Amino acid sequence: MKFMGMILFILFSALSAQVTSANHTLSEGLSLSSEKPEDVLTSPNGVFSAGFYSVGDNAYCFAIWFASRPSRIQDHTVVWMANQDQPVNGRKSKLSLLRTGNIILTDAGEFTVWETNTISFSSLELHLYDTGNLVLRTLGGENLWESFDFPTDTLLPQQLLTRSTKLVSSRSQTNYSSGFYKLLFDNDNVLNLLYDGAELSSLYWPPPWLMPVLAGRFVYNSSRIAVLDSFGNFSSSDKFTFSSADYGKLLHRRLTLDYDGNLRLYSWDEEGEMWVVSWQALQAPCNIHGVCGANGICSYVPGIGRNCSCLPGYKMINHTDWSKGCEPELNLSFGKSKFHFLQLSHIDFYGYDYNISYNYTLDQCKQLCLELADCKAFQYSFSTTKGNSDCYPKILLMNGNRVPSFEGSFYLRVPEKNLLSNANLAEEIGLNCSSEGLLLLERVYLKSRVNKTVKFMLWFVCGLGGLEIVGIFLVWCRLMRTSKNSTADKQGYLPAITGFRKFTYSELKKATKGFTEEIGRGAGGIVYKGVLADNRVAAIKQLHEVNEGADLFQAEVSIIGRLNHINLIEMWGYCAEGKHRLLVSEYIEHGSLADNLSSNSLDWKKMFEIALGTAKGLSYLHEECLEWVLHCDVKPENLFLDSNYQPKVADFGLSKLRSRVETDNSSFSRMRGTRGYMAPEWVFKLPITSKVDVYSYGIVVLEMVTGKDATKGVQVINSGGEPQHKRLVLWVREKKNRVASTKSWLEETIDPRLKGKYDIGKMETLIVVALQCAEEEKDARPSMRQVVETLLAQENDLQ
Ligand SMILES: *[C@@H]1O[C@H](CO)[C@@H](O)[C@H](O)[C@H]1NC(C)=O
Ligand SMILES: *[C@@H]1O[C@H](CO)[C@@H](O)[C@H](O)[C@H]1NC(C)=O
Ligand SMILES: *[C@@H]1O[C@H](CO)[C@@H](O)[C@H](O)[C@H]1NC(C)=O
Ligand SMILES: *[C@@H]1O[C@H](CO)[C@@H](O)[C@H](O)[C@H]1NC(C)=O
Ligand SMILES: *[C@@H]1O[C@H](CO)[C@@H](O)[C@H](O)[C@H]1NC(C)=O
Ligand SMILES: *[C@@H]1O[C@H](CO)[C@@H](O)[C@H](O)[C@H]1NC(C)=O
Ligand SMILES: *[C@@H]1O[C@H](CO)[C@@H](O)[C@H](O)[C@H]1NC(C)=O
Ligand SMILES: *[C@@H]1O[C@H](CO)[C@@H](O)[C@H](O)[C@H]1NC(C)=O
Ligand SMILES: *[C@@H]1O[C@H](CO)[C@@H](O)[C@H](O)[C@H]1NC(C)=O
Ligand SMILES: *[C@@H]1O[C@H](CO)[C@@H](O)[C@H](O)[C@H]1NC(C)=O
């Protein structure tokens, strides 16, 4: 790493030597003219330039941009603008440093459109630093004004975001004027993303339905400072921090609030000559507010992006601008005509509830909405934790989001006479995820490889948990990358796969000393321990031999490499040569949960942390991470513990690679899990959803706290005096139901090796949650996110 830094440093020095002829400073009494393209300030290292930047037809803004490769990139990446909301004429406009100390930007030689309002009696100069900071300083070195104090949409390394500064997105990809999204510290000291539209505004990050504390934010530090360093570490005074995917490398970086409302960290890839995304705030782009305007619904199509549509009976207001939303096609004056409701599934409209009525029947909810003059629709959802349904009448329909995993229903109020049908919508959403489809499509997929039609992709999202789609997405990215003028190229919306690389077979053979040290064996292949050339200890999994193309494998595996979460095993690379298919990941010294359970090395605190961490990892797989990646084989053998007993989920996404192999052997079995942990859906050939992982998770937790083996079950003596095996989950459930007092059912259930050393309240919650997770009926199980929230609430109770 240090060595790389040195090389970069030398490169920079060489580069700066070349450009010393350019001007770094503007002296007092001089100006830069919009008419002369050579009137540009350049930082000593040649990375940044400041000057007039064309933003439209004869329209210019005074800006700072990345200029490290001036000759090859036409569209520079702008990092700061003085007058983005008031561009100036290309003729006779100039930026002048007056002798009074003020910097003014004049339009067409007449109006001042921007100024710094600085006054000084000593001599001044305007200097562009290597960091990208444009500074007005006295010759004595005192700073009077700096562009870092007035950011636009980008924060550069070392630039502080403070209580008085904020990032504001641009309006669109081509329109640099101020847009609707802001990054700022709110009054509660929390760093937030805000949608600040023409009429409405709302916070959307951290997730608004979570208290800041539950989102990991600290609300009691009023200093309100955040900063990014050159190595890719961002930290904020509310304790929000992240490290980029390529953390540790000295690269050009920028944190930009993009016009689409997402906050992204980009790093400059010298080789590819483009920006790559090395972190982003929101993985599900439809969770950004204001995307499709009022009455619009946002859908996320992996590989294509988000797509807006209107509610049935509504039409787009401005055909070039989705933020304006949709309006009713007919005059729907509520109150006069008779109404009924149109049910739409998997649609969530966040916020703007009139009030929330708990434990309402559907009829009560309909009645309530009809009684309210401005009730446009209502959301009706079943709460698994409470066992009843809640009613949310909506006065405005904002932030519409189509979420396949969302189980509540949305009821749109429509006039009775209106002959609306939900046929169109049903077709789009109600994709059949039946098991037969799954099997069939898998074969089709094998033959046709990359089929790009959207519907096809949606099938896969449903059936297979999205891996394929993302695979296609990557292939698509690669296609895009090769076509020179693509927008993806310029925008650099390509995932960073830094750190994740391809190994040669001989490299891995050497690392494992000829595949000698076997450390595990599973359905997918054999795992060996190895030491890579850079001395990292790795777990190297040799998958069974396959016939499918290396490209496809590569595409799929690259996805696995992109998944990045503290509770997931870190993937380092893969190998695809001839028939060899190998995966390289970090090696975890402490072994798997299964090892730890059998050696009895876990105390209660560790158990709780393991339960929580595993839930977080799975929740990331299911919800945050490009949506709906299923694991399909959650079991103690696949959960590893690091030196702090933080769990790390392994083998995610591999179920897919494995089933392909089994198809080739023509003994394909649809069952992917491991007996004892498998949800009933597999057995009964019901649709497979993320709830299969929830089930397995429940069993793992029960196994951990009871100390009993789920694959063997529990031996009990039945009424006839005969010994009998009972499934673990049934055994716990019966204990809970049979024994009246809380204390004694826990005592009878929990592993005696814990010797009663646990928090009774937390333990009870944990087991109750685990039992809910292991419900036979998938709809009765909570989502992984709900599990995380419940456990986090418990954890915070303690403090
Ligand atoms: C630098 O500034 C001087 C005047 O201050 C000007 O004559 C010269 O052209 C500038 N050089 C460049 C490369 O812009
Ligand atoms: C950019 O957007 C602003 C605000 O919506 C608008 O007033 C302006 O006309 C737009 N500029 C261009 C060049 O489209
Ligand atoms: C990033 O910076 C914060 C604050 O300085 C520090 O606590 C954290 O450990 C750093 N992260 C990494 C990966 O270095
Ligand atoms: C508040 O945050 C700042 C910046 O992260 C840090 O330097 C300071 O020590 C924090 N103060 C408290 C009281 O935690
Ligand atoms: C996007 O939505 C429109 C309806 O607004 C639909 O016609 C179109 O097919 C969708 N595109 C994709 C890629 O899903
Ligand atoms: C739609 O929006 C664009 C840009 O904001 C604007 O120029 C145009 O006039 C609008 N069209 C209509 C029909 O309102
Ligand atoms: C809709 O109908 C109501 C009464 O029926 C009328 O007052 C209103 O002006 C109409 N609105 C439009 C946009 O036609
Ligand atoms: C919600 O508002 C309706 C109408 O005002 C009222 O009847 C109902 O009791 C309210 N529900 C709650 C939970 O306050
Ligand atoms: C919900 O309401 C029904 C009937 O109004 C009642 O029997 C039931 O106990 C309520 N459930 C809860 C959890 O309050
Ligand atoms: C889903 O599958 C079932 C049974 O195979 C079939 O009856 C139904 O029409 C299908 N629905 C759709 C939307 O294709």
d(CA 389, CA 364): 11
Ligand nearest to the CA of 383: 9
Protein residue with least CA distance to atom 6, ligand 3: 235
Q: Is residue 5 part of a domain?
A: no
Residue 492 tokens, joined: 């650099």
Protein residue with least CA distance to atom 7, ligand 5: 309
pLDDT (0 to 100) of residue 477: 27
Q: Which of 110, 134, 150 is the last residue of a domain?
A: 150
DSSP state, residue 373: T
DSSP state, residue 568: B
Assess whether the C-beta atom of 38 lies below 6 angstroms from ligand 1: yes
Q: Are residues 279 and 326 in the same domain?
A: no
Instruction: Report which ligand 9 atom has the smallest distance to the Cα of 387.
Output: 13
Q: Are residues 547 and 666 in the same domain?
A: no
Binding site listing for ATP: 541
State in Å: Cα 359 to ligand 9 middle: 6
Residue 32 tokens, joined: 């830069």
> Three-state SS for 488?
helix
Cβ atoms of residues 334 and 374 within 8 Å: yes
Domain count, the chain: 5
pLDDT (0 to 100) of residue 182: 97
Q: Is residue 451 part of a domain?
A: no
Q: Is residue 568 part of a domain?
A: yes
Kindly give the residue spans of alpha helices, DSSP state H, lying in 353-414: 362-371
H or E stretch at 447: helix 435-448
Cβ atoms of residues 559 and 574 within 8 Å: no
Range of the domain at 551: 501-586
Q: Are residues 685 and 773 in the same domain?
A: yes
Nearest to 13 by CA among 56, 62, 47, 51: 47
State in Å: Cα 360 to ligand 9 middle: 9
CB-hemisphere CA count at 13 Å for 443? 10
Assess whether the C-beta atom of 421 lies below 6 angstroms from ligand 10: no
Ligand nearest to the CA of 125: 1
Nearest to 8 by CA among 275, 227, 230: 230
Q: Are residues 744 and 620 in the same domain?
A: yes
Protein residue with least CA distance to atom 8, ligand 10: 432
Ligand nearest to the CA of 29: 1
CATH number for the domain spanning 58: value is 2.90.10.10
Instruction: Report which ligand 9 atom has the smallest distance to the Cα of 386.
Output: 13
Ligand nearest to the CA of 427: 10
pLDDT (0 to 100) of residue 280: 84
DSSP state, residue 159: P
CATH number for the domain spanning 637: value is 1.10.510.10
Q: Are residues 141 and 169 in the same domain?
A: no
Q: Are residues 652 and 774 in the same domain?
A: yes
Instruction: Report which ligand 10 atom has the smallest distance to the Cα of 436.
Output: 5
Assess whether the C-beta atom of 22 lies below 6 angstroms from ligand 1: yes
Q: Are residues 111 and 198 in the same domain?
A: no
pLDDT (0 to 100) of residue 668: 31
Q: Are residues 558 and 598 in the same domain?
A: no
CATH number for the domain spanning 507: value is 3.30.200.20
Q: Is residue 6 part of a domain?
A: no
DSSP state, residue 361: -
Q: Is residue 306 part of a domain?
A: yes
- Ligand 5 test: best mutation among 307, 425, 452, 476, most atoms within 8 Å of CB? 307
The one catalytic residue in 348, 633, 651, 751 is 633
DSSP state, residue 696: H
pTM value is 0.62
**The pairing of beta strand 296-301 with beta strand 400-402:** parallel
Tell me, yes or no, if 633 is annotated catalytic: yes
State in Å: Cα 475 to ligand 1 middle: 47
Protein residue with least CA distance to atom 10, ligand 6: 318
State in Å: Cα 777 to ligand 4 middle: 48
Protein residue with least CA distance to atom 7, ligand 8: 368
Residue 161 tokens, joined: 């975001």
- Ligand 7 test: best mutation among 314, 327, 331, 417, most atoms within 8 Å of CB? 331
Q: Are residues 222 and 126 in the same domain?
A: no
Do you find a cis peptide bond into 782, omega within 30 degrees of 0?
Answer: no
Q: Is residue 494 part of a domain?
A: no
Binding site listing: 541
H or E stretch at 441: helix 435-448
Cβ atoms of residues 459 and 441 within 8 Å: yes
Q: Are residues 623 and 772 in the same domain?
A: yes
| Tens digits of residue pLDDT in 686-745 | 777 778 889 999 999 999 999 888 888 788 777 777 777 788 888 888 888 887 676 788
Q: What are phi and psi of 509, to 5 degrees?
A: -65, -40
Q: Which of 565, 586, 607 is the last residue of a domain?
A: 586
CATH number for the domain spanning 352: value is 3.50.4.10
Q: Is residue 491 part of a domain?
A: no
Q: Is residue 10 part of a domain?
A: no
**pLDDT less than 50: residues of the chain:** 1-20, 70-72, 421-498, 625-628, 656-670, 798-799
Cβ atoms of residues 541 and 573 within 8 Å: no
pLDDT (0 to 100) of residue 104: 95
Instruction: Report which ligand 1 atom has the smallest distance to the Cα of 27.
Output: 5
- Ligand 10 test: best mutation among 425, 432, 433, most atoms within 8 Å of CB? 432
Bridge partners (DSSP) listed for residue 124:
138
Q: Are residues 261 and 292 in the same domain?
A: no
